[in-house]
Amino acid sequence: MTAAGLPLVFTLPVAAMILLPPVRHSTPLLWSFLAVVAALGAWHAVLTTRASGRGRALTVTPDIRPQHYVQACAQGSVLLYWGWYWREVYSSAHLLAAQLLFAYAFDTLLSWSRRDWYRLGFSVFPVIFSINLFLWFKPDWFYLQFLMIAAAFAGKELIQWGKEGRRVHVFNPSALPLAIFSLVLLLTGTTDLTWGREIATTLNRPFHIYALIFLIGLPGQLLFGVSSMTMAAVVSTYAFSLAYFALTGTYYFIDAHIPVAVFLGMHLLFTDPSTSPRSELGRIVFGMCYALSVVALYGVLGSLGAPTFYDKLLAVPIINVTIQGIDRVVRSGALKWIDPARLAPRVTGRGRRLGYMAVWTIIFVMMSAMQAVGDSHRGRWIPFWQRACAEARLNGCRQLGVLTSAYCTNGSGWACNEYGVLLQPQLRPQLAATAFGRACNLGFDAGCRNLELAAIEDPVRAPPELSDYLIVLREGKASVKERSPRQLYARACRQGFADGCERVREPPNVFP
């Protein structure tokens, strides 16, 4: 069918969004929308005028593919669930819609600029959803979000190579702009223009988020056979984390064996079947390469004092380039003895994919039982880091300071006092005095005593109060709420607070 006006179908709603109060009342955001509408309108006018003059018929071909709508459903489920715990996601729904409309208009115009037809389907959704699960710009800088989307579809259309007799895109469409913009943000020190930090941390708020990610990834794994990549990436990262813990006594990723944002990337970012190896062993190697890149980048970024959440974003385009080489190497005679394709060679297609899914499910259940993934992890508990600091383990005191400082900011007088104690008043007197002062202002008596005795060598310490436990007993989720004193002390005991264990052994009638 001829549909030269299709881009306007997507552009006009973007223009209408200018009337929305969040857009109209933000001058930078308003100009971003105006610029986008003007650019798309001008491009469409020039394109259709030239096509008409040359007798070209611009057409649209329906192209509905399972890999697009299945992936979009999985990503959309994460967005909806995550948004319930971080309402900025819901508040930005109009911006997400604008990105989808812009992407359709841009993709249509770019395709028609190179050929007479455009394939209309759901391919835009997984690209936009994937980008927004990992990085988006704040409203004052939202024009950069549109540029990132334009880079995604330009890369998909313009950067291609021959693969098994077909011309296909080289890079994962969403991963390429994520990597490019992440690198620019790092080099310019402008991460605060984005919600990047908040995305990485708030993804940890929803309960059972690891289980959700695992479950919504299963349909795609069944249809496209990417279980081996995800499984290899997760297991490799977990194995490294265990080895690191055995050597240092602390956790490499601080509060988890595998951070939830990394776990999400291992399911919904690098697993595009079009930009992955074709061989079974190649996909396993590909998953291991992604895991090792995350581990290496986390260490490098941390040592440079840069935001570490970029660890899962930077390397995907690089390993995309290696996929044909990986396939050639693993198909060589030297590696055939470890090729899983040799196992049950008569089992093919969906049956083989089900086999990988079964193995991955068993591994995930075992990892969940061992708290390798899930809502509870010792790396989120203050007593663990207190012991690590006392025993001079790697990063023990540093992470203890991060936790106590954060809980102090959240209103725990006990945490403020502990932060002051950690600072050692004779070494960091001003910072310690500030911490003790905040503890005192919050009603924690030990902080007041330490503030009065500024030159003390052994600061006064005291166990947390019930109001402190409501703040510091969180395990990566929301603050503890509506718990009886006995429940609070029991939970404190489980986390390693000696005071909690002592109190929970008291007779029940001492609790109101």
Q: How far is residue 448's CA from residue 440's CA, in Å, rounded to a whole number?
A: 5
Answer yes or no: are the C-beta atoms of 92 and 136 closer than 8 Å: yes
Residues in contact with 307: Cβ distance below 8 Å, sequence separation at least 6, in sequence order: 186, 191, 196, 197, 301
- The pLDDT tens digits of the residues spanning 410-429 come to 899 999 999 999 987 666 78
C-alpha distance from residue 6 to each of 12, 48, 102, 106 (Å): 10, 11, 12, 11
Answer yes or no: are the C-beta atoms of 491 and 472 closer than 8 Å: no
Which range among 226-240, 347-361, 362-376, 382-396 has the greatest average pLDDT?
226-240
Q: Could you give phi then psi for residue 94, rounded to 5 degrees?
A: -65, -30
Q: What is the pLDDT confidence band of residue 442, given thresholds at 50, 70 and 90?
A: very high
Largest CA distance in the chain: 91
For residue 203, the one-letter residue type is L
- The pLDDT tens digits of the residues spanning 314-360 come to 999 999 999 999 999 888 877 777 888 887 777 788 899 999 999 99
Instruction: State mean pLDDT over 473-479.
Output: 62
Answer yes or no: are the C-beta atoms of 199 and 136 closer than 8 Å: yes
CB atoms within 10 A of CB 191: 17
Q: What is the pLDDT of residue 182?
A: 97
Range scoring the smallest mean pLDDT among 181-195, 281-295, 463-477: 463-477
Q: What is the pLDDT of residue 88?
A: 95
- Ramachandran quadrant class, 311 (left: phi over 0; alpha: psi -120 to 50; beta: rest): alpha
Residue found under tokens 């334009």: 150
Q: Could you give phi then psi for residue 147, rounded to 5 degrees?
A: -65, -35
Q: What is the pLDDT of residue 479?
A: 55
* Domain assignments of the chain as residue spans, ordered by start: 1-177, 207-377, 381-510
Q: What is the pLDDT of residue 297?
A: 97
Six token digits for residue 253: 């990723």
Q: Could you give phi then psi for residue 164, rounded to 5 degrees?
A: 55, 45
Q: How far is residue 289's CA from residue 296's CA, in Å, rounded to a whole number?
A: 10
Specify the 3-state DSSP secondary structure of 162: strand
Q: How far is residue 407's CA from residue 467's CA, in Å, rounded to a whole number?
A: 12
Q: What is the pLDDT of residue 506?
A: 61
For residue 221, the one-letter residue type is Q
Q: 166: which strand partners?
A: 163
Answer yes or no: are the C-beta atoms of 282 and 336 closer than 8 Å: no
Q: Nearest CA to 355 among 225, 214, 238?
A: 225
- The pLDDT tens digits of the residues spanning 190-203 come to 999 999 999 998 99
C-alpha distance from residue 49 to each of 42, 52, 113 (Å): 11, 5, 12
Residue 452 parent element (H or E) = helix 445-452
Q: Nearest CA to 225 among 365, 336, 339, 357?
A: 357
Radius of gyration for the chain, computed over Cα atoms and rounded to the nearest angstrom:
26
- The pLDDT tens digits of the residues spanning 247-278 come to 999 999 988 899 999 999 999 999 999 899 99
Q: Nearest CA to 293 among 322, 268, 273?
A: 322
The separation between the first and the last C-alpha atoms of the chain, rounded to the nearest angstrom, is 74
- The pLDDT tens digits of the residues spanning 91-103 come to 999 999 999 999 9
Q: How far is residue 4's CA from residue 14's CA, in Å, rounded to a whole number?
A: 18
